[in-house]
Amino acid sequence: MRRLLPALFLAFLLPLAASLAACGEESPVLERIETTGEVRIGLTGDYKPFSWEEPEGHFEGLDAEMAAALAEELGVRLVIVRTSWPTLMEDLAADKYDIGMGGISVTDERKERALFSAPLLTDGKAPVARCEDAARFATLDGIDREGVTVIVNPGGTNEKFARANISNATLVLHTDNATIFEEIAAGCADVMITDAIETRIVARDYPTLCATNPDAPFTQSEKAYLLPKDEAWKVRVDDWLGEMEASGKKRKIFEKWVE
């Protein structure tokens, strides 16, 4: 059995290595994966439906399942690395993980420092509030008023959007993204502007909270997997995503966690 496992592992990676050599491409990431026998996936563990950590050390969600599928495809062990939105790019630059998953938005700022996989979905920013107040916060003009408290998690595109669009309302940073919606339900804040896909999950999980216009968000942006600047590694990830799409496996995973 010990002899069989390395043979199976090489069977996965040798065709890829031959292809890269033929194209004159080298991949530090793939070489490290082959050497260590593991792929490191960066997840924040605080963003449903993509990933959340409960109990500590156990990750669930759409991208936790996609991460397991990638490791299986590569024939290596899955290692989940806990990252955060404020440290997402720094952790990638420090080589703490090979691929960042978990609902990462594609932005020009991030593209300057990293690569992205083929897009997974298109989403945008939309509000979520207590149901009795949801109609008041259907527009940015309705949200950005004195007396309104807008809550946001720091370090990601939610904070960037809020700081660019909120000047009259009170903006409150809440560092624990896993409990941020409890603050709204409890009346400690009025509204949060986040990705439309998350507002739908929140409305399902919190009976007193409602998503407003998730099908017509304020913005549009793509979500994809975050990669170091390693073109050959991006090709391998994109090929895998194409295979997941063609086989219907990606659709099944998305439907499981989003519907």
The answer to whether residues 151 and 192 touch, using CB atoms and an 8 Å cutoff, is yes
Q: How confident is the model at residue 167 (pLDDT cuts 50, 70, 90)?
A: very high
Q: Which of 53-62, 205-214, 220-229 has the lowest mean pLDDT?
A: 53-62
Q: Which helix (H) or strand (E) holds 237?
A: helix 231-247
Distance CA 222, CA 134 (A): 26
Count of CB atoms situated within 10 Å of the CB of 188: 12
Q: Which two tokens stand for residue 127?
A: 């509000």
b (16+ CB within 10 A) / e for 20-45? beeeeeebebbbbbbeeeebbbbbbb
Q: By percentage, how much of the chain surpasses pLDDT 70?
A: 90
pLDDT at residue 195 in the model: 95
State the Cα torsion 39-40-42-45 to the nearest 10°: 90
Q: In what order do the strands lie in the sheet with 170-173?
A: 170-173, 149-152, 191-195, 125-130, 209-211
Count of CB atoms situated within 10 Å of the CB of 110: 19
Q: Which two tokens stand for residue 217?
A: 């968000």
H-assigned helices in 38-156: 62-74, 88-93, 108-113, 140-143
Q: How confident is the model at residue 178 (pLDDT cuts 50, 70, 90)?
A: confident
Q: State pLDDT tens for residues 38-96.
A: 999 999 999 999 999 988 889 999 999 999 999 999 999 999 999 999 999 999 999 99
Q: State pLDDT tens for residues 230-254.
A: 999 999 999 999 999 999 999 999 9
pLDDT at residue 7 in the model: 40
* Integer angstrom CA distances of residue 174 from 34, 150, 181, 195: 40, 10, 10, 16
The overall average pLDDT reported for the chain is: 91
Distance CA 168, CA 165 (A): 9
Reduced to 3 states, what is the DSSP secondary structure of residue 170? Answer: strand
pTM, full prediction: 0.83
